[in-house]
Structure 1
Amino acid sequence: MEDQWSRWGLDLHVHLRPGAGHGLRAGLEHALRDAVRSGRLPSGTRLPSSRALARDLGIARGTVTQALDQLVAEGYLESKPRSGIRVAPQPTAAPPVETAQPPHTTLRPVRGIDLRSGFPDLAAFPRREWLAATRHIMQTAPNTAFGYRERTGIIELRQALAEYLGRARGVSTTPAHIVVCAGYAHALRLVCQVLRHLVGSAGALAFEDPTEPDYPALAEQMGHRARRIPIDRDGLIVEELTNETAVVVTPAHQYPLGVTLSPARRVELVSWARRAGGFIMEDDYDGEFRYDRQPVGALQGMAPDRVIYVGTASKTIAPGLRLAWLVLPSSLLAPLREATRWDESSVNVIDQLVLARLIQTGELDRHVRRCRARYRRRRDLLGEAVNRHLPHGRLSGIAAGLHAVLRLPADSDHEAPLLGFLAERGIHVEGISPFYHRPQEAPLAIVIGYATPAEHAYSSALSALVRALRERM
């Protein structure tokens, strides 16, 4: 006989607690009433049919029908022709007041004109290509593809990434040296675990100054001491490094200043790593987007045994995918595999297969080229607007990436009042000071993410920003 629980239908967990002398009907009414009041069954939830519910509960259908009719009469449920029985709209309490800001405030949606850095144009997400690749995967992937897979990432994606990174970014690697991660923070967390395992105790990690402040904070949470190393026009000042275990750098396009690590500094940094036995973690967050000449190759190609390369799909496609990858020196492969042994922050198999398909078919390259042309036009429009309407401002970091830094005259305003003035007009940008270890020493500047608005909204967003800055300066 067919098991009744294997039949098609809606599942509804009901815990019957008949009251003394009231029987099953009263118990069912109480259970459903309590589920609606508590919010476990929210407004609009469809209930199983009386026949299915009676069968699942093992009670008479008439008992169920009477209980449902009673709750409809009381206003907890509603019954409409050809729509079945659903939970009726219930009065809602006021939402709780937030008492603390979430840690990553820069990732929160805002109303108005969003010119914050760190985002690509999300409207440019390659929906058609992603859908076509997903359809191909669902039609051709074997059933075994959806089982438990290796924590370092599926071989199909690691093979595709090894080819793509070597061709597009000058990375020297093999699939065995690549680990797929759930975003950059996950990659950094794994690296911190591995480095702590190697040194046997808390070591020091160096970060650029300025930098995204969440990452030094994460390193400290993982038991490391985080040091800040200043940046000049040639990039990281290598001679400031001492006995650090590793240094985290953004050599292709320093975040947020936008300078490129010079060839001499690259040689100097690699020499430091070899001499000190340290590692370089290369954050290649937007290396594909260079506009005035060929993209600068990855530092990893100079020293695969000393450089930990990390890239993501956050800028090339979208941050919501939570797709990143590490390219590791051979000496770190075994401890990294051990670090992933109990780690559950993995990327789902379908997204990995889809990205591999986009790389293999050349769709990722075509998407990057389209975005590169689009972002270059936006950068040029920003430069023209500043030159024409803000002659006392100076743009920097414009050779690559998705953002630029606009330095303002020191006597024009203070950062907080300026940002507040812009926010009152619905314009959201970032000040440069939070990126510095000593914010009070930061120059007066704002970080403009020119990739963030949708294509149709960029011109008006730029005009509004320029008008507001002219009014304030």
Structure 2
Amino acid sequence: MDYLALSLDPEQDQPLYQQLYRYLAEEIAAGRLPAGEKLPARRVAAQALGVSRNTVETAYAMLEDEGYIETRERSGQYVADVSPLVPSREIAVVPDVPPVPEAEYTFSTRSMDATLFPARTWARIEKEVLYTEPELLNHGQPQGDLALRSAIAQYLAGSRAVRCSPEQIVVGAGIEYLLGLLARLLGGRLVATEDPGYEKTAIILHNNGTPTVPVQVDGGGMSISALRESGAQVAYVTPSHQFPTGVSMPVGRRTELLGWAGENPERLIIEDDYDSEFRFDGRPIPSLQGLGGNRVVYISTFTKSIAPSIRIAYMVLPPQVLADYRRLFGSYSSTVSRFEQHTLAHFLARGHFARYLNRARSVYRRRRDLLENALIAVFGEERLEFGGTHTGLYFTVQFRLGKTEQQLIDAAAKAGVQVSGLSPYYHCSQYAPGATLVLGYASMDEEKLEQAVARLGRAFLS
């Protein structure tokens, strides 16, 4: 056999048996060693190759384990019947999309101030959980461990007037994941999404086979008359702080929306309560779910309130949806680490979350006030119209400066300030107001906010 003239190199990183195995596997796979051909005995092969018999035995054993060769009793090793591999055509790998370099000053709506997070407290609880609850290395409950679901239910009852039991809560790794599951439960029903609204919502629903239709948002949230005209059976809304306009849905509109859902047993409301923890003016408006729980799926996340990298979200399912969830996904394992679940459960139950939120609200309120006042000082109140300043970590500003929205964005970029406009969030562009920016203020401290506004002043007024 030709391979007995093979030269094995002891200087290579690969051991000798691996070199021999790889060579024979490639020859067999390519058909150069045909099926039925007998391999030399181990002793003969070892002598010819100048290696130990153990080297040949190990290579042969690996080939037999993977089906390249077979042993025939009292006869030896033979090449197995392996179909020759068809050489695969090389396909160019699409490179990663390079991250957009951040400007020196960024009014992002996606970021928060990581320095506010109580990292030492979280780390202490996480260490405690790791050392005192070794059983968490095993599988947990599919909907999330009861300890966390109970803590969430108690928190929601006190802070958002959500009426639910822990059994109704499903914990998952981010709203995107949970929304993908929820889309499957909708059974192809048409979903009304807000216009303007968060584009990713429609993308996730579409990717999971759920059709969507944009429905106009006015000063009170999603228009009920437009919702009726759309023919949708499900309404996806952000009533506490509509994204991106920042409007809150008043109680009259909320009861009207619940009335719409109650007219047909197939209708459902999905309430996305993504940043309701940060309300600065007046009392928080109770959740839509608390007004009509049997028609509302309540969904939220700790991404905004704790940190974007802590991928823990949850949804509260009404009984009929919960039954479908358990039928379809009852055997699925939870996508959140049990150690993180129990760390968060203790973080909530021991009051750390409430204390952190109080401190963060105070900081973010100061930043909101500073940004609003700085803009007025630079541009004058008559040139500005603010929206959604009462809640959340961003607000909108319409600039009456005789410039288009894109001109403002371009001018800000040249000044080293990254801003985003409101118009891209609109599906129907005729509804978009002119020259409106969406300014997130969570990721910059007071000094940087003042510097950023000063740069905007020079850029916009020149």
Both proteins in one fold, TM over 0.5: yes
Q: Which amino acid in structure 1 is aligned with residue 394 of structure 2?
A: H
Q: Which amino acid in structure 2 is aligned with residue 314 of structure 1?
A: T
Partner of 1:258: 246
CA RMSD of aligned residues (A): 2.5
Q: Deviations over 1:40-64 (max 9, x none)?
A: xxxxxxxxxxxxxxxxxx88xxxxx
Partner of 1:363: 352
Identity fraction in percent: 32
**Cα distance in structure 1, aligned partners of 2:399 and 2:125:** 46
1:421 matched to 2:406? The reply is no
Number of residue pairs matched by the alignment: 382
Which of 316, 329, 339 is the aligned partner of 1:340?
329
**Cα distance in structure 1, aligned partners of 2:299 and 2:445:** 27
**Cα distance in structure 2, aligned partners of 1:284 and 1:109:** 30
Q: How does 1:77-96 map to 2 (within 5 A)?
A: none
* Conserved 8 A contact 1:229-1:236: yes
1:430 matched to 2:420? The reply is yes
Partner of 1:215: 201
Which of 258, 262, 281 is the aligned partner of 1:274?
262
Partner of 1:241: 227
Q: 3-state DSSP class of the match of 1:241?
A: helix
Q: How does 1:26-41 map to 2 (within 5 A)?
A: 26-28=11-13
**Cα distance in structure 2, aligned partners of 1:115 and 1:376:** 16
Change (3 A) 1:23 1:459: same
* Conserved 8 A contact 1:286-1:316: yes
Q: Deviations over 1:97-142 (max 9, x none)?
A: 977858xx8xx6624211111322223222111112112212321x
* Conserved 8 A contact 1:419-1:430: yes
1:283 matched to 2:269? The reply is no
Q: 3-state DSSP class of the match of 1:167?
A: helix
Which of 140, 152, 156 is the aligned partner of 2:147?
156
Change (3 A) 1:334 1:220: same
Of stretches 438-447 and 387-396 in structure 1, the one that deviates more from structure 2 is 438-447
**Cα distance in structure 1, aligned partners of 2:287 and 2:396:** 23
Change (3 A) 1:456 1:408: closer
* Conserved 8 A contact 1:282-1:300: yes
Partner of 2:62: none
User: TM-score when scaled to structure 1?
Assistant: 0.75
Partner of 2:299: 310
* Conserved 8 A contact 1:281-1:307: yes
1:397 matched to 2:385? The reply is no
Partner of 2:178: 187
Q: Which amino acid in structure 1 is aligned with residue 125 of structure 2?
A: A
Structure 2, unmatched stretches of 5+, are: 20-53, 56-91
What's the CA shift for 1:237? Answer: 1.0
Change (3 A) 1:155 1:447: same
Partner of 1:135: 127
1:324 matched to 2:313? The reply is yes
Q: 3-state DSSP class of the match of 1:282?
A: strand
Partner of 1:40: none
**Cα distance in structure 2, aligned partners of 1:345 and 1:110:** 34
Of stretches 131-140 and 314-323 in structure 1, the one that deviates more from structure 2 is 131-140
**Cα distance in structure 2, aligned partners of 1:414 and 1:100:** 33
Structure 1, unmatched stretches of 5+, are: 1-17, 35-57, 60-95, 197-201
**Cα distance in structure 1, aligned partners of 2:309 and 2:353:** 17
**Cα distance in structure 2, aligned partners of 1:314 and 1:149:** 22
Q: Which amino acid in structure 2 is aligned with residue 429 of structure 1?
A: V
Structure number with larger C-alpha Rg = 2
Change (3 A) 1:28 1:258: closer
Partner of 1:376: 365
* Conserved 8 A contact 1:122-1:454: no
**Cα distance in structure 1, aligned partners of 2:285 and 2:323:** 30
**Cα distance in structure 2, aligned partners of 1:21 and 1:229:** 72
Change (3 A) 1:353 1:454: farther
User: TM-score when scaled to structure 2?
Assistant: 0.77
* Conserved 8 A contact 1:117-1:402: yes
Q: Deviations over 1:307-351 (max 9, x none)?
A: 100111111111111110101101111221244357567111111
Q: Which amino acid in structure 1 is aligned with residue 424 of structure 2?
A: P
Change (3 A) 1:280 1:24: same
Change (3 A) 1:231 1:21: closer
* Conserved 8 A contact 1:210-1:256: yes
Partner of 2:39: none
Q: Deviations over 1:441-467 (max 9, x none)?
A: 422201000112246633333433344
**Cα distance in structure 2, aligned partners of 1:173 and 1:462:** 44
What's the CA shift for 1:167? Answer: 0.7
Q: Which amino acid in structure 1 is aligned with residue 398 of structure 2?
A: R
Which of 428, 438, 458 is the aligned partner of 2:449?
458
**Cα distance in structure 1, aligned partners of 2:438 and 2:422:** 6
Q: Which amino acid in structure 2 is aligned with residue 181 of structure 1?
A: G
**Cα distance in structure 2, aligned partners of 1:449 and 1:338:** 41
Q: 3-state DSSP class of the match of 2:179?
A: helix
Partner of 1:49: none
* Conserved 8 A contact 1:121-1:453: yes
What's the CA shift for 1:387? Answer: 1.8
Q: Which amino acid in structure 1 is aligned with residue 223 of structure 2?
A: I
**Cα distance in structure 1, aligned partners of 2:170 and 2:391:** 27
Change (3 A) 1:459 1:129: farther
**Cα distance in structure 2, aligned partners of 1:97 and 1:462:** 42
Partner of 2:102: 110
Change (3 A) 1:317 1:440: same
Change (3 A) 1:460 1:343: farther
Q: Which amino acid in structure 2 is aligned with residue 195 of structure 1?
A: L
**Cα distance in structure 2, aligned partners of 1:286 and 1:294:** 15
Of stretches 371-380 and 110-119 in structure 1, the one that deviates more from structure 2 is 110-119
**Cα distance in structure 1, aligned partners of 2:94 and 2:6:** 46
What's the CA shift for 1:236? Answer: 1.5
**Cα distance in structure 2, aligned partners of 1:119 and 1:379:** 15
* Conserved 8 A contact 2:371-2:450: no
What's the CA shift for 1:303? Answer: 0.8
Q: 3-state DSSP class of the match of 1:373?
A: helix
